[in-house]
């Protein structure tokens, strides 16, 4: 098999040894794998900075409150490595949960306000899991630039807040959401949609982007067959989360759009 040029680092020790040899700009793209063009857009933005680019793939168990969701989260290591090779990422960090949580999760980062709204309201502990793993990753990678997708806008805001609150010297860059031609935001979870649900899914973005009130948007989404977790406009941005498919195998989609006043 052709040898891949992306350097794969499988432990915090390997990563720290690699990082010690770098100087100048270091861009970081954290992911949970099952990579698509949305993730690759983050890498492309990072490459523009002319420094090194480190990506990570870690399906973080502490941010899943549904064990079935964690179990069914897509994993495709060799395809992911090929894609990262093509985008010329310099290094790929792929730690294990035991390595990342050697403290048995005794230490956690909690945000007390924004993290209990929207995606945090019906997923208790979700953002504590996200912020905790991100702080660990940032301390290991020590990036100068961090690239996050607008697709997960609440997550972006919370991580930017974490960077500010803990005086981390990192520039946080938000990259616009990459969509399929029909408007559906690219997501690792889309591959779990049935053929019928895939046809319905773009209506989520279409209806979310309309200039109707949040209440009417919710009604229309329900009419189209979505289970609505929330639709809420905050500071000119409408956030939404819905589910498609039968219970137990439902696929959760999230999205957000700027709404003109
Ligand atoms: P994930 O692998 O889902 O944890 O996502 C890793 C990063 O990729 C996060 O910063 C996401 O916001 C970003 N991302 C995921 N999907 C997209 C997309 N369709 N467009 C832009 N960024 C995305």
pLDDT of residue 90: 97
* For ligand 1, mutation pick of 79, 84, 152 (most atoms within 8 Å of CB): 152
- Report pTM: 0.97
* CA 174 to ligand 1 center in whole angstroms: 10
Atom index in ligand 1 nearest the CA of residue 39 equals 8
pLDDT of residue 127: 98
Q: Is the pLDDT of residue 84 over 70?
A: yes
Residue nearest atom 18 of ligand 1, based on CA coordinates: 38
* C-beta 133 within 6 A of ligand 1: no
Proportion of the chain above pLDDT 70, given as a percent: 97
Residue nearest atom 17 of ligand 1, based on CA coordinates: 38
Got the DSSP string for 210-223? SSS-HHHHHHHHHH
* C-beta 148 within 6 A of ligand 1: yes
Pairing between strand 251-258 and 237-244?
A: antiparallel
* C-beta 175 within 6 A of ligand 1: yes
* C-beta 152 within 6 A of ligand 1: yes
Please tell me the least confidently modeled range out of 99-108, 213-222, 237-246. Answer: 237-246
Residues pairing with 93 in the sheet: 9, 56
Cα torsion at 157, 178, 73, 7 (round to 10°)? -90
* CA 38 to ligand 1 center in whole angstroms: 6
pLDDT of residue 50: 82
Q: What are the pLDDT digits (tens) for 130-152? A: 999 999 999 999 999 999 999 99
Report yes or no: 217 and 208 within 8 Å, Cβ to Cβ.
Answer: yes
Report yes or no: 249 and 227 within 8 Å, Cβ to Cβ.
Answer: no
Q: How far apart are CA 237 and CA 70, in angstroms?
A: 29
Per-residue CA distances from 246 to 50, 115, 183, 233 (Å): 46, 28, 23, 27
Q: Is the pLDDT of residue 1 over 70?
A: no
SS3 (DSSP) at 11 = coil
* For ligand 1, mutation pick of 32, 33, 36, 38 (most atoms within 8 Å of CB): 38
pLDDT of residue 49: 87
């Amino acid at each position: 098999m052709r040898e891949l040029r992306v350097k794969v680092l499988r432990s915090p020790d390997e990563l720290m040894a690699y990082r010690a040899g770098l100087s100048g700009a270091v861009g970081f793209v954290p992911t949970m794998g099952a990579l698509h063009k949305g993730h690759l857009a983050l890498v492309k933005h990072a490459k523009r900075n002319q420094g090194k680019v480190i990506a990570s793939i870690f399906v973080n168990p502490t941010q899943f409150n549904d064990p079935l969701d964690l179990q069914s989260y897509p994993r495709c290591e060799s395809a992911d490595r090929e894609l990262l090779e093509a985008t010329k990422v310099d290094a790929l960090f792929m730690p294990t949960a035991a390595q990342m949580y050697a403290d048995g999760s005794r230490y956690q980062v909690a945000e007390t306000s924004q993290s209990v709204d929207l995606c945090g309201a019906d997923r208790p502990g979700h953002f504590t899991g996200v912020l905790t793993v991100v702080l660990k990753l940032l301390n290991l990678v020590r990036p100068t630039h961090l690239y996050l997708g607008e697709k997960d806008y609440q997550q972006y805001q919370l991580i930017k807040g974490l960077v500010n609150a803990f005086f981390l010297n990192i520039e946080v860059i938000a990259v616009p959401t990459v969509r399929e031609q029909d408007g559906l935001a690219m997501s690792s979870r889309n591959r779990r949609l049935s053929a019928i649900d895939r046809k319905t899914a773009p209506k989520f973005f279409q209806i979310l982007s309309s200039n109707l009130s949040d209440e009417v948007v919710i009604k229309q989404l329900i009419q189209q067959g979505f289970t609505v977790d929330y639709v809420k406009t905050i500071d000119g941005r409408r956030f939404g989360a819905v589910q498609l498919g039968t219970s137990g195998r439902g696929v959760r989609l999230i999205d957000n759009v700027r709404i003109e006043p």
